Chain A
Amino acid sequence: MKLLLTLFFEFFKTGLFSSGGGMATLPFRYDMGERHPDWFTPAQLADMIAVSESTPGPIGVNMATYVGFRTAGVLGGLFATIGLITPSVIVVLLIARALKEFRSNPYVDAAFYGLRPCSIGLIAAAGLLVVRIALFHWDALGGGAGWWKYFFNWKALILAAVLLVFTRGVKATKKLHPIVFILASAAAGVVFSF
């Protein structure tokens, strides 16, 4: 029960302090993983992001259910999900009556002027941690002669370069749904034994 309540509370905090949708809950997940190392590893978190992107529903909700399930089974998923959405419902109900006033309130507008760059900085920093485990062998860093040969995960770096070209450069594939790239990457992982 204590674990379930901790899950609820952790995700309540995420729901209350993250804004901007999609990846915005990611930095909170990392913070959570650091404080509860027995819940999930950074590598598992990256897998959760992939699954959340490839299944229907809002990414934040998918990730909450996933983390909760991994940590404490079906009930864990339930408590985490409810924790995540409770602040949303409360806040929205509070402002629903005064929607126009809220939108045009200069303080709200000014606060979000500061929150948007904050959200981007946090997501980028959390993304760097995924980069660290996916593209490099961090533990080889500075370990003996020729360590740099093992430091770079060459196969992964090449795949990343190819994906960047197809998701940003090539017009025909740019607009494809992320699930296409996720499946292609899974296939590449198996074929070239990553």
Chain B
Amino acid sequence: MTLLKLFAAFMRVGVLTFGGGYAMIPILEREVIDRNGWATHEELMDYYAVGQCTPGIIAVNTGTFVGYKVAGVAGSVVATVGVVLPSFLIITVIAGIIQNFADIPAVKSAFAGIRVCVCVLIFNSVIKLWKSAIKDKAALVLCLAVFALSIFFDISPIIFVVLCGAAGILLTRLGVRGK
């Protein structure tokens, strides 16, 4: 019964969240705190913060935390499947439709326009992330170095992630951080 409730609650989170990230918080609060009392506000914010500092999708990470707290490993799996299922179904239908209409000239023009919008959206999210994360010289240098290297060389993002994680530890130990 609890598992079913978990599944339904996280499915609602999946359906009602457009865009993920912070857009998810009010819906999570309603489902997890107000409706079911599975966690306190502080706990949920902790999950959310740690969800951002662990690999993977924030919504999935948060779902796994809450599910685990409520009903152990089974709970975490059920909550995760719940949050992902609506995306999976909706995108499968839309991707199928788009594939069939992709050759129509008007659809091509529409997507050419949309691509312009995607540039602006990516630009805006880079600015937003920049404001929240680039707070000292070392972080600035690290960010620009990754940007330049990944433009000019064919390096896997995994290499950058591993090296930057190590650089973060090294820079903190050297006391460069925050200057």
Contacts and interface: CB of A to CB of B under 8 A. Distances in A.
Contacts of A179: 18
B77 to A, nearest CB: 7
A118 B142 contact: yes
Q: In which size bucket is the chain A interface?
A: 35 or more
B134 A21 contact: no
B12 to A, nearest CB: 10
Question: What's the dominant secondary structure at chain B's contact region?
Answer: helix
Contacts of A115: 161, 164-165, 168
Contact of A160 (B55, B116, B127): B116
Interface in B52-78: 52-61, 64-65, 68-69, 73, 76-77
A134 B115 contact: yes
A4 interface: no
B57 A110 contact: no
Interface in A160-184: 160, 163-164, 167-168, 177-179, 181-182, 184
A131 interface: yes
Interface in B76-96: 76-77, 80, 83-84, 86-88, 90-92, 94-96
A186 B83 CA distance: 29
B139 A55 contact: no
Interface string B90-112: 11101110110000001001111
Q: Which 4 A-B pairs have the closest CB atoms?
A: A189-B113, A114-B168, A121-B146, A57-B87
28 contacts: A17-B55, A19-B55, A26-B122, A49-B118, A56-B15, A56-B87, A57-B15, A57-B59, A58-B87, A61-B59, A66-B91, A89-B60, A91-B54, A92-B76, A100-B46, A110-B169, A125-B146, A127-B123, A130-B122, A131-B119, A159-B117, A160-B116, A177-B18, A182-B114, A182-B121, A186-B110, A187-B113, A189-B116
